[in-house]
A and B are shown apart, each in its own frame.
Chain A
Amino acid sequence: MDYKNFTIEDFLADEFFQQWVLAPDNKTDTFWKSWIQENPDKRIVIQQAVRIACHIDFSEKWTDQERFQMWETIKQELIPAVETEELPFIARRKIWLAAASLVFILASAGILLTKFRMSEKQTSFGQISKITLADGSVITLNANSKLRYARDFLSKNREIWIDGEAYFEVSKRVVNGKKQPFTVHANHLSIQVLGTAFNVNNRRGRVNVTLEHGQVKVVDQHNNANNVLLRPGEAVAHSEKKPHLHKEKVAVEDYSSWKNRVIVFRKKSLKEIAEMMEDLYDMKVIIDNAALGAETFTGSFPTDSSEVLFEKLEKMYPLQVSQVGNEYHLK
């Protein structure tokens, strides 16, 4: 092979060259080293080719959680299916009759029941609670937030309505060989999920969706064309003022840190922080000095001790916090 006119691409695509870079042996090593000596002008080309070859890497790994869950799923299916006992014909007939009449009764009562078919979970100020749904999905509900879902939410499409903030870890579910969708509704956004972890914040007419892993599709129910597909590490916000769904990269951990009982602020204005304290703890934070409202704050505090936040604020800014009843004044 005449390598004299080889470009970087040519070298990289040459099996003998690849062999030297990837798993050198005596034969390839001797050949290439002497070839480079004879062709010093090709040294840089070779160097670049080697460099590219060395950097071709595949770094994807399962997270510990994925690894564990997958093995759990596998184990479940390893257990041989227990044979169901065949019922005699007459018994089966009776069951059918019973089932048919039950359906009839339910159908007639259906309209009345609609109101009561929804489950509701609500948290008070300062409270975080974990809810495990029938499909194994885990929802962590932040303070002052409300979830609603149909009692039989497994039977049709899995749908959930959220006011406030929640972190979703959605389990995959297959029904009749098809993946069952999971949809979260926040205001008039719908978030379509396959099996994933993400944070939804729906407060003050503003919805923010942040994706940790998996894939979700966020759709404006008033305008289906206004939709966006989120990839891990991305977030999308929606409000009356900014209705167009435009995603951006964010530090996802900051958005969902509250579920680990830490609240992280990154360049948040005091005004935003004040709103958040009110949403989560029903604390009225009043900024008496208007100039402070625009100051930004970066830091964190534990969710069960909001005093830490005030302490930090006092250290960082020339301000003083005074408490009057349920009101905190920043001066």
Chain B
Amino acid sequence: MRAFLPVVDEAKIWRRLLKGDQQALAFFYEKYADVLLKYGLSVNYNREMVQDAVQELFVHIWNRRQNLTVPESVKYYLMVSLRRIILKEVRNSLLSTDAFSDDSFSYRCHEKHFAEEIEEDVHRNLQQAVRSLPTRQQEVIFLRFFEKLSYEEIASVTGLDYQILRNTIYRAIKTLRQVLLEKMPYISLISIISSLI
């Protein structure tokens, strides 16, 4: 898969993992922990839950390594597996009465206070806007704009139909732009000015 071309030979390290080399597991943990956080939050914005899911994922891989094969792309494999764990967990928490589940869905990343340039403002506003999208939209935006997966690849990760995927992205983009315009009504003016310079 194009977007996942590894620089090092991950298949080789993965095979070491399968043979019981814990350092190989540590390698993948170190390398992908942050991407899994970003992606996990896109599937469900709940840091606690993502943390548990990442832990479960690596424990699961290790304890069942006898049954595993070498994936075409480790990153892709980790992401898809994480997604499965989180969605299972979301279903469970919807069934149980968890005092925190309601609030966690409207959770936004917290703002930092420092003197910011306009670009940083755009950046921050956009990030917040992305994190307040419905989770399905966050997920496709993450896969497309951060992971740079093709529509086809996204469809295979999420199981979304191509047309539905296109509509989901369109709706997300529209919301993002609207939020940006509301928060920074002067933004269109700025880009006009900067294009004149």
Are A and B subunits of one complex? yes
- Inter-chain contact B145/A67, CB cutoff 8 Å: no
| In the complex, chain B residues whose CB is within 8 Å of the CB of A47 | 191, 194-195
- Inter-chain contact A71/B26, CB cutoff 8 Å: yes
A73 CA / B55 CA spacing, docked (Å): 7
Q: Does residue A48 face the partner (Cβ distance < 8 Å to B)?
A: yes
B146: contacting residue among A12, A48, A58, A231, CB under 8 A: A58
Known: A15-B166, A61-B34, A62-B34. 7 other contacts (CB 8 A): A12-B173, A18-B144, A56-B176, A59-B127, A74-B29, A74-B59, A178-B96
- Inter-chain contact B145/A22, CB cutoff 8 Å: yes
Q: Does residue A70 face the partner (Cβ distance < 8 Å to B)?
A: yes
Interface string of B141-177 (1 = CB under 8 A from A): 1101110101100000000000000100110011011
| In the complex, chain A residues whose CB is within 8 Å of the CB of B100 | 194, 215, 217
| In the complex, chain B residues whose CB is within 8 Å of the CB of A23 | 148
Residues 222-274 of A at the B interface (beta carbon under 8 Å): 229, 231-234, 249, 251
Which size bracket describes the interface of A in this complex? Answer: 35 or more
A251 CA / B99 CA spacing, docked (Å): 27
B195: contacting residue among A44, A67, A215, CB under 8 A: A44
13 A-B contacts, Cβ less than 8 Å apart? Answer: A15-B151, A15-B166, A23-B148, A44-B191, A47-B194, A52-B173, A55-B126, A56-B130, A58-B42, A66-B51, A73-B55, A74-B59, A249-B113
Q: Does residue A283 face the partner (Cβ distance < 8 Å to B)?
A: no
Closest 10 CB pairs of A and B: A58-B38, A13-B170, A56-B145, A233-B110, A77-B59, A12-B173, A55-B126, A229-B103, A55-B123, A22-B148
Residue of B nearest to A10 (CB): B170
Rounded to whole Å, the gap between the CB of B161 and the closest CB of chain A is 15
Residue of A nearest to B62 (CB): A78
* Secondary structure dominating the interface of B: helix
- Inter-chain contact B170/A78, CB cutoff 8 Å: no
Which size bracket describes the interface of B in this complex? Answer: 35 or more
- Inter-chain contact B63/A78, CB cutoff 8 Å: yes
Interface string of B83-119 (1 = CB under 8 A from A): 0000000000000100110011001111101000001
- Inter-chain contact B126/A215, CB cutoff 8 Å: no
Q: Does residue A214 face the partner (Cβ distance < 8 Å to B)?
A: yes
- Inter-chain contact B173/A13, CB cutoff 8 Å: yes
Rounded to whole Å, the gap between the CB of B103 and the closest CB of chain A is 5
Residue of A nearest to B121 (CB): A55
- Inter-chain contact A44/B192, CB cutoff 8 Å: yes
Residue of B nearest to A58 (CB): B38
Rounded to whole Å, the gap between the CB of A221 and the closest CB of chain B is 15
Q: Does residue A288 face the partner (Cβ distance < 8 Å to B)?
A: no
A55 CA / B141 CA spacing, docked (Å): 12
